[in-house]
């Protein structure tokens, strides 16, 4: 297959070429796939995309007109793809449903622990020869109640770590997973999860029902000083409502690996540019907010798995073996 790889970075190239072993012909494009760059797909059988590529109806029309047959996502989430249009235009959409749930779950824990023990502030202080402890007071994780929204692969990995810390873990998912209960968590109503949790971590996909799940109303039901973690998708959170809750102290700690408007910011070195996003700039002013730039997936193990499954998807498609492709279902 001739494959146009969009949003590609040197590490994507290394891992994909290692896994490829000459089976497919890759052309690497640094820009995102969007309305402006979709024309670059001419002459390719497949496009290979990541989380911030735009696969709108318009982009999909251009891909289809250029005879592209396959969209191979090198990620699990597919909220950036107009699936109805892909189906209408006969494009197959494949993804990497699981690469390392541990990578993302462990990153959520890293955010929680850094925020709890103020590691970001402590690190800077020690470098300034300042060993004072004021402002660094943390809390024991042991005995705290952790609420997990979404008990799929990442949610389960996160639950296991939290149970290991000695936390009481409660969770919510429209499709309960017996593994969550085996791991020691208990399903509760969303209302109970909001009111009982000291820490809330989001591990559900972004779908219409979960957009702005964290909003003024849900925030008002949470314990004052709650810790909120989002390593899932930015738009699960109404960012303005979260800023208001940080200002009143309703949110005590906020750990984000994703942001609603991240497409224009993340994965790029903008250090010589002016930050124009006022909402994001306001988030950066809080001492109890820690933000990473969508790096939760970024481990060696995860990148190798993403490359391996992407090659498998391309080969399964090329050989007409749908059973070997991780298809995105439209249902």
In the complex with ligand NAD, which residue's Cβ is closer, 255 or 316? 255
In the complex with ligand NAD, which residue's Cβ is closer, 242 or 258? 258
Nearest-CB residue to ligand NAD?
152
DSSP 8-state assignment for residue 81? B
Which residue blocks in the chain are alpha helix, DSSP H? 10-20, 57-65, 83-88, 101-116, 119-127, 153-164, 178-182, 190-196, 216-220, 239-248, 278-284, 300-318
Report the C-alpha gap between 107 and 121 in whole angstroms.
18
Report the C-alpha gap between 30 and 8 in whole angstroms.
5
CB of 209 to ligand NAD, least distance (A): 5
Looking at the chain, the number of H-run helices and the number of E-run strands are 12, 12
Q: Catalytic residue numbers?
A: 233, 262, 294
CB of 141 to ligand NAD, least distance (A): 21
Residue 308: burial class (beta carbons within 10 Å; 0-12, 13-18, 19+): middle
CB of 66 to ligand NAD, least distance (A): 28
Binding interface with ligand NAD (CB under 6 A): 76-77, 98, 101, 104, 149-155, 172-175, 177, 203-207, 209-210, 231-233, 257-258, 294, 296-297
In the complex with ligand NAD, which residue's Cβ is closer, 38 or 291? 291
Tokens of 89: 């235009």
In the complex with ligand NAD, which residue's Cβ is closer, 194 or 297? 297
CB of 164 to ligand NAD, least distance (A): 18
Tokens of 117: 């023990």
């Amino acid at each position: 297959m001739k494959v146009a790889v969009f949003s590609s970075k040197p590490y994507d190239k290394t891992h994909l070429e290692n896994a490829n072993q000459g089976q497919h012909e890759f052309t690497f494009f640094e820009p995102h796939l969007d309305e402006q760059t979709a024309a670059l797909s001419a002459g390719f059988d497949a496009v290979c995309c990541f989380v911030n590529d735009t696969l709108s109806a318009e982009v999909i029309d251009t891909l289809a007109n250029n005879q592209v047959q396959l969209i191979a996502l090198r990620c699990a989430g597919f909220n950036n793809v107009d699936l109805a249009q892909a189906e209408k235009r006969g494009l197959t959409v494949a993804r990497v449903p699981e690469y390392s749930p541990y990578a993302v779950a462990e990153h959520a824990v890293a955010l929680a622990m850094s925020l709890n023990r103020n590691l970001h502030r402590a690190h800077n202080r020690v470098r300034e020869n300042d060993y004072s402890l004021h402002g660094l007071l943390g809390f024991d994780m042991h005995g705290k109640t952790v609420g997990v929204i979404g008990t799929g692969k990442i949610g389960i990995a996160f639950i296991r770590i939290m149970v290991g810390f000695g936390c009481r873990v409660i969770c919510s998912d429209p499709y309960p997973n017996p593994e969550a209960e085996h791991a020691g968590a208990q399903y509760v109503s969303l209302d109970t999860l909001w009111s009982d949790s000291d820490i809330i971590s989001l591990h559900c996909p972004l779908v219409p029902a979960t957009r702005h799940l964290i909003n003024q109303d849900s925030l008002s039901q949470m314990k004052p000083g709650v810790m909120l973690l989002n390593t899932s998708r930015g738009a699960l959170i109404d960012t303005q409502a979260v800023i208001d809750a940080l200002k009143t102290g309703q949110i005590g700690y906020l750990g984000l690996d994703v942001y609603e408007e991240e497409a224009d910011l993340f994965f790029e070195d903008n250090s010589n540019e002016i930050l124009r996003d006022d909402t994001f700039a306001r988030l950066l002013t809080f001492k109890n907010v820690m933000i990473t730039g969508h790096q939760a997936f970024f481990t060696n193990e995860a990148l190798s798995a993403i490359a391996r499954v992407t090659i498998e998807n391309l080969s399964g498609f090329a050989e007409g073996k749908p059973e070997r492709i991780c298809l995105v279902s439209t249902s």
